[in-house]
Structure 1
Amino acid sequence: MQAYVPLQTGDPERVGPYRIVARLGSGGMGRVYLAGSPGGRAAAVKVVHEELAEDPAFRRRFGREVAAAQRVAGPFTAPVVDADPDADLPWLATAYVPGVALGTAVAAHGVWPERSVRALGSGLAEALDAIHRADVVHRDLKPSNVLLAPDGPRVIDFGISVAADDTKLTTTGAVVGSPGYLPPEQLVGREVGPPGDVFALGALLAYAATGTGPFGGGPAHGVNYRVVHEDPDLERVPDGLAEVVARCLAKDPRQRPEVPELVGELGRWEAADGTRVTFAAGTWLPAPVAADVAALGAEPLPVPQAQATAAAPVDADLPTVTVGPAPTAVATARLGAPPAARPRGATRRRTAVLAAAGAFVALAVVGGLLLPRAFSDSAGRGDGAEGSGSPTAAAKQPTVRELWPSDMGLRHVEVARGKLVGEDDDGRLHALTAADGDTAWTYDRPGSLSFEGVSDGLAVVSSDEEGTIQGIDVDSGKRVWIVDAQTHTPPGADFDLYMGVVVADGTVYTSAMHDLSEESELPVSYSVSAVDAATGRLKWIHRIDQILSNALAVVDGVVYGGVREPDDTYFYAWDAETGDRLWRYSSRTSRPYPGELSAVEVSDGTVYFGDDRGVLHAVDARRGTRRWIYDADTESVRQWLDPLVVADGVVYGGLGGVTSDSETGAVHAVDASSGKPLWSEHTERDPELHGLLDGSVLFSTKAGALHAADARTGATAKTRLSSGDPDAALDGDRIYFHGGDGRLHAGGVSLTER
């Protein structure tokens, strides 16, 4: 298996005494290389970005971090073996660990058994104990910073760890770390100490046990919102682990367990026969992961060499795809959706594929890409209540013919102007040429960026750390404008994070969360605002002291959003130019609790709101009055996922996310004029709708499948795209997806009669 990235033009041949062999990854602080010492010892060498090296304050902080990291010594950490904070480009070297990143292992082989999760937890707790005894707080414990070796896990990357008595990060207001693993106290600007690492440990254990983080995925602002305000989803965590994980994820850091306590509690793990299991010969790992780790450990160091991948020939006869909805132009951004011209999923999944900052990664995928074989030849059938699909209807079989792969493992890809724009796992923005997958440009600057989507020829990115929104020209990769959060932060508040970002007609619309002073009755407030992108002038702003809900959309001069108030959840419509409120709609139904807004679509004078209680609302776009509601699931809590697709008088939508049976999802078809259900089809978790092709609704799921459901009956057939979450995007007759092998793939889609 290939477990490195070849060197590129501009990479150094040597750093200090180390000979550079290959790339391992990069992050907001620097680039990481696989290297060899003069004596032949392998090392992971991190070289900081040139922009940071020019900052004297950063150099001082980097020197302190190196000194702090060198104090850490423990069996489950990767020690710092060398460093030069005073070099032209400061660097540090850590021991090379030939291990697979936890994120890569879970993406390739799925969830872990409880025994392995407990073993992982006990090793990580012991590593944190060693880190904390050195007066260091890691601050960025996440799946790509945990390497799996035969004799136990290794915690790596102290690149943003700081000594516990260093208060710089907490005094600048910057939020540094990875969404879903940052503790709530850090997100609201409170003091962060060892309990923050305990929170991250709990999130890691939930991830290993379920395959997803306990607060879902998607853009940073959406995940951070759920961390602060919502309970973790631990439905699929084994009963024997759920209690300790829940304590680690307590909102109040004082209620989390101490690390030494966790070492003992998680260390009580046994085999099925009752014997004690030890960290030996990889027996603590799931068998497929242990095999990958063993294979990686047997590989020699690579020799620098260029690589090229030939693209497969393009099939010119593939059918075209019509993507709904109706002609109305819609710009949207939600907790989990970018403001793109093309609809995208409401839960944008981030899966670690490449380990960053000192990690050596194996692209551990068994069997490679499975194209175009269908892994299920049986057609499904709609099985909802009234109007369910016909059991005798034949589904068309989808096939995908590979056109090209790219080693650039991008996620959340948008298609615009002949380019694919997406982000890597280190928060950098890239554009590839859609025809052949060649790199067109990279927008690489320090700090983590969240890609919000493409609008009006601009790739829009936000940064909670910097408090900025930027518009990047899709053709050139050059920044066109930047908007600072202080422009749209209410008086008496400090900007915390973006929840939604929409760019439409030269205006930046945001929903955001803000910190208030400790003297305030409320810890946080929210806002919805509009800023002129070219001048930075604030057009209007509404401060909201209730909880802002999960979606923001701008359609035909109207801004739509949701607010959870004490008595109800309301969907609002504001004039996009003036900010005046046009109407307020109550989402209350017969359910005991009103749902929060999770998906929005507009077609033919009707606004379709999906909520996280399984209810779809059809509302008159001009008056804000209810036309009908459709309750998709009365037995469990389900969330309507973005996008909803409206075509030929039918509303198609996926359900998933927050479920009592979180292994499954569903796709529903509802009559757009009456709300009458036409059919429903059970699927794997979190179906993401892509559009209509040849009379079928195309959607993909986190299980790696591409489905084609007959638009009239719901009869379904599927084929495999990926070994993990494909995070797919459809454009015309092509689909772009993550293959679970660390690469982005392009394929041509066709449907055949069965």
Structure 2
Amino acid sequence: MQAFAPLEEGDPERVGPYRIVGRLGSGGMGRVYLARSPGGRATAVKVVHEELAEDAAFRRRFGREVAAARRVTGPFTAPVVDADPDAELPWLATAHVPGVPLGTAVAAHGVWPEWSVRALGSGLAEALEAIHRAHVVHRDLKPSNVLLAPDGPRVIDFGISVAADDTKLTTTGAVVGSPGYLPPEQLVGREVGPAGDVFALGVLLAYAATGTGPFGGGPAHGVNYRVVHEDPDLESLPDGLADVVARCLAKDPLRRPAVPEIIEELGRWVGADGTRGTFTAGRWLPAPVASEVTALRTAPLPNEAATATADADLPTVTAGPVPTAVLTARLDAPPERPSVAARLRGVTRQRRTAVLASAGTFVVLAVVAGLLLPRAFSGSSGSGTGTGSPTAAARHLAVRQQWSDDVDFRQPVLADGKVVGNQDGLLKALHADSGEAAWTYDDPSASSFEGVSDGLAVASSEKGTIHGVDLDSGKRVWSVDAKAHTAPGTTFHLYTRVVVADGTVYVNAMYDLPEGSERSGTYAVSALDAATGRLKWTRPIEHILSNALAVVDGVLYGGVRETDGSYFHAWDADTGDQLWRYHASASRHYAGELTAITVSDGTVYFGDSRTVLHAVDARRGTKLWTYEPDDGGVEEWLEPLVVFEGVVYGGTGGATSDYEPGTVRAVAADSGRHIWTEATEREPELHGQLDGAVLFSTKAGTLHAADARTGATAETRLSSGDPDAAVAGDRVYFDGGDGRLHEGRITLRDG
């Protein structure tokens, strides 16, 4: 068992005086490395991401916050021991805590008994007291920022998210933090103080005791809406915790308890053996968690820097086997990268993913292991065996590169022989067969490519404008402002989904109501003519409209969370008239939200954020069956769902983070009978089927081919991080982790 992953080529050998020996993880602010101080002390060093380092405001704020964080001392924090805010890439070092993240422990071993939750809460409250005493507000207290050690929990990453909140990354309206843990005052743009951390503590206690957040899961906008406007669901909490958690979650920060009050209330916890609790030898933890934490504590640390390839975005600490090393090969050298100072002067553009070249001649990347070498990597972890033709586990999966180009598309889309995506805020297209540039759309507001209709690319902007762009030339055909579908008395807020189908652009949108209204927002689904941009119809939705949307055979399908539960709707795609409404689930607090839809052979299949898959007659809206996994936990179904030869295939994953483990599931389309389940290292994204296998990629950088009958899986690596893959037939387009877009040809051959 190890709490670190090996280094990759391109990782630094040293940061300041610290020798880097392993990877601990990655997050929104930077990458975390395991290091040794000059005297040999194990240390965690966080190196800030380049895009933050390029922001002068961030550097100033980071320096102030680090200075404050260094004043934090307490038994339940990981103290800052060193930092250099003025380095080319700013960094800070904290004492290394070989602990298991709270989220990992709950996911692996289930909910905690009340006494363990009380112990957790008392330790976290004491950590917050130390943080607040130094005039620091954490602002991102969540399961991955709580490490479990035998002698109590540790709070990490304080003083960093605050600095990021004043940078260009949040000036566009984004909110730093994790949905469900952000207090209401932060979501509505008010000042956040220590009471905001108390709110997050209440969410953490509910999560440890029930396995879910008190405001449910699903799309972030829905979770945030419930945080601001609805009561938390505390029905499953033990009686001894319900009152203190409810007070921590008060909407008004002035009504939340002070941290010393929480320490006094929770500090009287008693261990499982009836004696007054003590943070020693892991006795405060549930037994299976204590065993894992203790074993991790005794795991040896590396003495030399490893060079094997590891996942690019591991959780803060991972308890488990060492990642399997893969082969590497040379790529042509990328252009020499200027210094951060030069880039600050505008010499060259930013990249979302940086590549560090060795000696300016070549770069060694794990991505090419499955692209340029004849060997492909395969493995099997399927739940069945099957007979007849060879399964995917007995076959080799390989991806051989066809071309790569110096573009950094996020989630490229294939359309009419072109690969379309956004780079540096501009919509661009490449020829799919060669990777050569086709065109660049000159309006930077059209930042999101939505789809294609009859040779027209449709894009949207954050301000609500919809653009129709000629797919051959990249020239604007039309543009329509959101005012075209914004009802009087409301103000456009955001699009939650845009779908292009059957010559029509369908938009799900949220609108703000005037100040003083009983509700802060309302929703509508609208239809625009894809050829002209003309508004065809608008249907107001008073309740929360799901971001999942599908159009098949003249019917528009979507989900609405109403006061008495969650409903699945079918509307006439030409008029917006409601055809039927299916009551998917009922709850006074959290009924789940629709997250994925597909239609096949007269049946609508849709998954929700409670891990329930529904099958409904597409004509009448009547229930055919529901499937709910019996392997525990609450996950949401991920788009897309795929139906192939009588089987529904879909991915599921945690509702709080894209980088949690997930699963791919196969369910009989006619009955809802479970066929197989395949666990994945990160949340999966399905891409269809090829030669009897279901293709899916994960944010860990791998492409998988699961045998459609058994789930037995072969895999190959595409990237050192999230590949943002798009698949068409046997071709895959993806971000190789080197800031370049690659096209590869997929082959599956018998063993």
The verdict on a shared fold, with TM-score over 0.5 as the criterion, is yes
User: How much is the aligned-residue C-alpha RMSD, in angstroms?
Assistant: 4.8
2:570 to 600, 607, 618: 618
TM-score, normalised via structure 1 length: 0.68
Aligned position for 1:156? 156
Kindly provide the CA deviation profile for residues 443-476 of structure 1, in whole angstroms up to 9, marking residues without a partner as x.
99xxxx9x7774646686899xxxx797798998
In structure 2, do the counterparts of structure 1 residues 109 and 402 end up closer, same or farther at CA, with 3 Å as the change threshold? farther
SS at match of 2:613: strand
The 10-residue stretch of structure 1 (562-571 or 248-257) with the greater mean CA deviation from structure 2: 562-571
Aligned position for 2:526? 572
SS at match of 2:128: helix
In structure 2, do the counterparts of structure 1 residues 355 and 638 end up closer, same or farther at CA, with 3 Å as the change threshold? closer
In structure 2, do the counterparts of structure 1 residues 89 and 371 end up closer, same or farther at CA, with 3 Å as the change threshold? closer
**Which letter maps to 2:643?**
L
In structure 2, do the counterparts of structure 1 residues 750 and 187 end up closer, same or farther at CA, with 3 Å as the change threshold? same
Aligned position for 2:739? none
Q: What are the residue-to-residue correspondences of 1:164-183 with 2, within 5 Å?
A: 175-183=175-183
TM-score, normalised via structure 2 length: 0.68
Aligned position for 1:184? 184
Aligned position for 1:331? none
Structure 2: distance between partners of 1:287 and 1:437: 49
Kindly provide the CA deviation profile for residues 472-495 of structure 1, in whole angstroms up to 9, marking residues without a partner as x.
98998999979999x59xxxxxxx
1:125 offset after TM fit, Å? 0.9
Kindly provide the CA deviation profile for residues 214-271 of structure 1, in whole angstroms up to 9, marking residues without a partner as x.
4445565554444444444444443432333233233332222211112122223223
Residues 370 and 720 of structure 1 are in contact (CA less than 8 Å); yes or no, is this contact kept in structure 2?
A: no
Larger RCO: 1 or 2 (CA < 8 Å, sep 6+): 1
User: 1:553 and 2:510 equivalent?
Assistant: no
Structure 1: distance between partners of 2:443 and 2:223: 21
Structure 1: distance between partners of 2:64 and 2:30: 17
1:620 offset after TM fit, Å? 1.9
In structure 2, do the counterparts of structure 1 residues 595 and 532 end up closer, same or farther at CA, with 3 Å as the change threshold? closer
Structure 2: distance between partners of 1:652 and 1:68: 52
Structure 2: distance between partners of 1:275 and 1:482: 69
Structure 2: distance between partners of 1:154 and 1:442: 42
1:539 to 451, 476, 480: 480
Kindly provide the CA deviation profile for residues 198-225 of structure 1, in whole angstroms up to 9, marking residues without a partner as x.
2222222233233343444556555444
Kindly provide the CA deviation profile for residues 366-418 of structure 1, in whole angstroms up to 9, marking residues without a partner as x.
9xx9922359x9xxxxxxxxxxxxxxxxxx9x9974979xxxxxxxxxxxxxx
SS at match of 1:186: helix
SS at match of 1:362: coil
In structure 2, do the counterparts of structure 1 residues 36 and 680 end up closer, same or farther at CA, with 3 Å as the change threshold? closer
Residues 137 and 161 of structure 1 are in contact (CA less than 8 Å); yes or no, is this contact kept in structure 2?
A: no
Aligned position for 2:688? 731
SS at match of 2:582: strand
User: 1:603 and 2:558 equivalent?
Assistant: no
Aligned position for 2:458? 507
Residues 601 and 644 of structure 1 are in contact (CA less than 8 Å); yes or no, is this contact kept in structure 2?
A: yes
Aligned position for 2:744? none
Kindly provide the CA deviation profile for residues 654-682 of structure 1, in whole angstroms up to 9, marking residues without a partner as x.
3454xxxxxxx543333323334333444
Residues 75 and 127 of structure 1 are in contact (CA less than 8 Å); yes or no, is this contact kept in structure 2?
A: yes
Structure 2: distance between partners of 1:723 and 1:267: 39
1:124 offset after TM fit, Å? 1.0
Aligned position for 1:652? 605
Residues 71 and 134 of structure 1 are in contact (CA less than 8 Å); yes or no, is this contact kept in structure 2?
A: yes
SS at match of 2:558: strand
Residues 403 and 746 of structure 1 are in contact (CA less than 8 Å); yes or no, is this contact kept in structure 2?
A: no
1:134 offset after TM fit, Å? 0.7
In structure 2, do the counterparts of structure 1 residues 750 and 88 end up closer, same or farther at CA, with 3 Å as the change threshold? closer
Residues 206 and 234 of structure 2 are in contact (CA less than 8 Å); yes or no, is this contact kept in structure 1?
A: yes
User: 1:667 and 2:613 equivalent?
Assistant: yes
Structure 2: distance between partners of 1:89 and 1:167: 16
SS at match of 2:71: coil
Q: What are the residue-to-residue correspondences of 1:110-509 with 2, within 5 Å?
A: 110-158=110-158, 160=160, 162=162, 175-217=175-217, 220-221=220-221, 223-272=223-272, 274-302=274-302, 303-307=304-308, 354-356=314-316, 360-363=317-320, 371-373=381-383, 401=393, 435=399, 454=413, 456=415, 502=450, 504=452, 505-509=456-460
User: Percent of aligned pairs with the same residue?
Assistant: 52
Kindly provide the CA deviation profile for residues 66-88 of structure 1, in whole angstroms up to 9, marking residues without a partner as x.
21111111111111112233444
User: 1:710 and 2:674 equivalent?
Assistant: no
Q: What are the residue-to-residue correspondences of 1:52-63 with 2, within 5 Å?
A: 52-53=52-53, 55-63=55-63
1:638 offset after TM fit, Å? 4.2
SS at match of 2:465: strand
In structure 2, do the counterparts of structure 1 residues 595 and 113 end up closer, same or farther at CA, with 3 Å as the change threshold? same
Q: What are the residue-to-residue correspondences of 1:627-646 with 2, within 5 Å?
A: 627-633=579-585, 638-639=591-592, 641-646=594-599
1:509 offset after TM fit, Å? 2.7
Residues 549 and 597 of structure 2 are in contact (CA less than 8 Å); yes or no, is this contact kept in structure 1?
A: yes
Residues 650 and 666 of structure 2 are in contact (CA less than 8 Å); yes or no, is this contact kept in structure 1?
A: yes
Structure 2 residues without counterparts, runs of 5 or longer = 324-378, 655-661, 712-751
Structure 1 residues without counterparts, runs of 5 or longer = 311-351, 378-395, 405-432, 489-497, 513-526, 588-592, 658-664
Aligned position for 1:677? 623
Residues 77 and 156 of structure 1 are in contact (CA less than 8 Å); yes or no, is this contact kept in structure 2?
A: yes
In structure 2, do the counterparts of structure 1 residues 60 and 623 end up closer, same or farther at CA, with 3 Å as the change threshold? closer
1:194 offset after TM fit, Å? 1.0
1:697 to 643, 648, 654: 648
Structure 1: distance between partners of 2:625 and 2:557: 18
Structure 2: distance between partners of 1:401 and 1:164: 45
| Equivalent residues, number | 609
Residues 464 and 495 of structure 2 are in contact (CA less than 8 Å); yes or no, is this contact kept in structure 1?
A: no
Kindly provide the CA deviation profile for residues 429-451 of structure 1, in whole angstroms up to 9, marking residues without a partner as x.
xxxx973899989999xxxx9x7
SS at match of 2:190: coil
**Which letter maps to 2:504?**
G
Structure 2: distance between partners of 1:365 and 1:110: 24
Structure 1: distance between partners of 2:164 and 2:643: 54
Residues 296 and 319 of structure 2 are in contact (CA less than 8 Å); yes or no, is this contact kept in structure 1?
A: yes
Structure 1: distance between partners of 2:260 and 2:7: 42
Residues 638 and 655 of structure 1 are in contact (CA less than 8 Å); yes or no, is this contact kept in structure 2?
A: no
**Which letter maps to 1:559?**
Y
1:574 offset after TM fit, Å? 3.8
Residues 427 and 449 of structure 2 are in contact (CA less than 8 Å); yes or no, is this contact kept in structure 1?
A: no
